[in-house]
Amino acid sequence: MSPLPDPHTLLKKITQETRTFLDRHHINDPHMVGIHTGGSWVAQALHQALSLKQELGTLDISFYRDDYTRIGLNPQVKPSHLPFVVEDRDILLVDDVLHTGRTIRAALNELFDYGRPRSIHLIVLLDRSGRELPIQADVSGQHLSLRPDQHIKLQGPEPLQFIFSEDC
């Protein structure tokens, strides 16, 4: 595999691409939500770089995962925090790595429990191969093709860095 991508370089790229995306789609007052944990770190940096007016929201989708019974209760479940009304808002949903699409599906399910947004746009730092659901990012920092036995995870929050591993 080539060298691991630099998260800070990718953050700069998605910041610019998100600005362009918002302008192109005439979204003037977006509400950003980061998916716990890595997505929250990315969302914090992106929210600050874009100087968004609305407070940042976070989701912990542990109870919404379709593999919940298989992986069991996560002892580090944190409450979601949505400090705004979701109904009829333009939501920027942020995650670190888009892989199978199951995390995003769970996040969408939870968001709709809070109301019906006008739109939801997905922003990810890294889009990797291996999709199992028809979900794609509107903005991504980089696409990375990995074998099914290879994994990449964002570690942080300081410093932000990607960790690569392979099944043995």
Per residue in 87-141, pLDDT (tens digit) is 999 999 999 999 999 999 999 999 999 999 999 999 999 999 999 999 999 999 9
What does the pLDDT look like over 75-89, one tens digit per residue? 566 789 999 999 999
Note down the domain range covering 132: 30-166
Q: Which two tokens stand for residue 12?
A: 């700069």
> 1-25 burial string, b = 16+ CB within 10 Å, else e?
eeeebebeebbebbbeebeebbeee
Q: What is the pTM of this model?
A: 0.92
Within-domain flag for 2? no
Within-domain flag for 51? yes
- Number of independent structural domains in the chain: 1
Within-domain flag for 18? no
Among candidate residues 111, 98, 96, the one with its CA nearest the CA of residue 44: 96
